[in-house]
Homo-oligomer: A and B are copies of this chain.
Amino acid sequence: MDLKVRPIELDAAGKTIAIINNHDAKELGVRPMERIIITKGNKKMCVIINTTADRFVKRGEIIVYHEVREALKLKNSDIVHAKPRGALESKKYIKEKVRGKELEYKKYKAIIFDVIQRNLNDLEISSLITALEINGMTEQEVYDVTKIIVETGKRVNFKGAVVDKHSVGGVPGDKTTLMFVPIIAASGLTIPKTSSRSITSAAGTADRMEALAPVEFSISQIKKIVDKTGGCIVWGGAVDLAPADDLFIQIEHPLNLDPLFIPSIMSKKISMGSKYLVIDMPSGPDAKIKTGKDFDDISKKFLHIAHKFGIKTRCVMTDARQPLGRNIGPLLEAREALENIIMPKEKNLINKVIVLSNTLMKLAGRKENAMEIIESGLAEEKLREIIKYQGGNEDIKPEMLQPGKFRHEIRSKESGRVKYINIKTIAVKAKMCGAPDDKKAGIIMQKQLNDTVKKHETLYTLYSESRNKMNQAAKGDVGFIVK
């Protein structure tokens, strides 16, 4: 069927969508959400069809979103040819997974190909994600999917012995990476660290680092930085290493499901050429890893895949019973990392940094000691070098990083000792103050676990650029048990 193009000045968030008249859709034999192939000259594209009544799109017309117009170089009133897209094999495979079957390599390959080509729509990907979550994946399936995500993405080659760290997350105030990367790079290993921005937390590593330097770079820019300094701390989202993974995450996040977390993490390590890896698993009553059994189960899965891809890996259980260090929020966390790399003082932060760094260096056959690297000033020097090559101010001082202008102290109603800190409550309050979008929003903890507290003494202080947000955050349970 030939159709006359009407472009629309809207994008479809990366999806390839076109709109045709109900009657034309019927004639083509497609229903809304199904796909047609449109051809213009020697270019063709698979698009998802929306249909509409005559008053919006007349018969013989096709409205194309920005993405389609660009890809096919369409102008108003161009004529394109449309035909129905045949049935997708990958839809059958998704249904097999729904039925509880284990899928083999070539079926995942077909699925992931159709995800990348945008042949599968959100409904179908949502159904796949849900089926993977419920029915689980065998070790072979996790391996195959990881491999396919790598094969369909980019790979980068860095000089030297490439190492990495990954945290499964869950502890507020975790600025470990900002200290870990310079220590490791100072030891002579290569650590091209890509990090996420906050998805659900008060700050992601990319948000923290952004208080010190820009974090958005192309792969070739990252390669230049790392080849110069041995390390970087950049945002992974701009890198486009693994397009399949990015597309899965777009569906997983709103569903709050995460069945592909191992392929998602490991594929990026493989693409970056990591040979040694330490996985940080913060554990505590309110963290993702609650028990030793959780740690064992998840470690086993990581180690299995890492081994199959030849990445020497250690999993380390770390303490998530309270925020790490005293500062929470992008700018406050960057400041605390800077303070502690200049002069170690915050015990629970320093301990974690040292344990993780030494574990990784030992794994990679190094004899250096992390505490010595900090105390010698080499770590600070390396951090300033990375800041400089990422385009930040290498002479930055902690006192130049000042939090939001409104502050509010949360005080204890009891005297006694701090027996329990609810890390979720603390994280939520930091977010309510505006973190991570308000970089200056956050919390400073005056009291930590086992500290002695007097009645009316300050437990922690809220900071925000918005008095209103701060007042909201000040309400409700304080998240401390003092007795």
Contact = CB atoms under 8 A, between A and B. Distances in A.
Contacts of A50: 12-13
A52 interface: yes
A175 to B, nearest CB: 23
Contacts of A31: 253-254
A16 B27 CA distance: 27
5 contacts: A11-B53, A122-B123, A127-B129, A130-B131, A131-B134
Interface in A118-163: 121-124, 126-127, 129-131, 133-135
Interface of A: 8-13, 19, 26-27, 29, 31-34, 50-53, 55-57, 63, 66, 91, 95, 98, 100, 121-124, 126-127, 129-131, 133-135, 251, 253-257, 437
A256 B92 CA distance: 10
A203 to B, nearest CB: 15
Nearest to A63: B10
B124 A127 contact: no
Contact of A52 (B13, B29, B53, B257): B13
B10 A124 contact: no
A98 B130 contact: yes
Contacts of A123: 122-123, 126, 251, 254-255
Contact of A124 (B100, B121, B133, B254): B254
Nearest to A29: B437
A11 B52 contact: yes
A100 to B, nearest CB: 7
Given A98-B130, A123-B255, A127-B126, A56 B11 contact: yes
A65 B127 CA distance: 27
B134 A98 contact: yes
A465 B142 CA distance: 51
A130 B11 CA distance: 29
A63 B8 CA distance: 13
Contact of A56 (B9, B19, B55, B133): B9
A127 B251 CA distance: 10
A431 to B, nearest CB: 9
A13 B26 contact: no
A70 to B, nearest CB: 12
A282 to B, nearest CB: 23
A29 B255 CA distance: 17
Nearest to A134: B134
A122 B125 CA distance: 11
Contacts of A19: 10
In the A-B complex, the 6 residue pairs with the closest CB atoms: A126-B126, A130-B130, A127-B130, A123-B126, A134-B134, A33-B254
A455 B10 CA distance: 61
Nearest to A431: B29
A257 B10 contact: no
Contact of A100 (B134, B251, B437): B134
Interface hub of A19, A27, A34, A256 (most chain B Cβ within 10 A)? A256
A255 B34 CA distance: 11
A273 to B, nearest CB: 32
A329 to B, nearest CB: 16
A31 B256 CA distance: 13
B53 A255 contact: no
Contacts of A12: 50
Contacts of A133: 98
Contacts of A52: 10-11, 13
A449 to B, nearest CB: 30
A360 B344 CA distance: 85
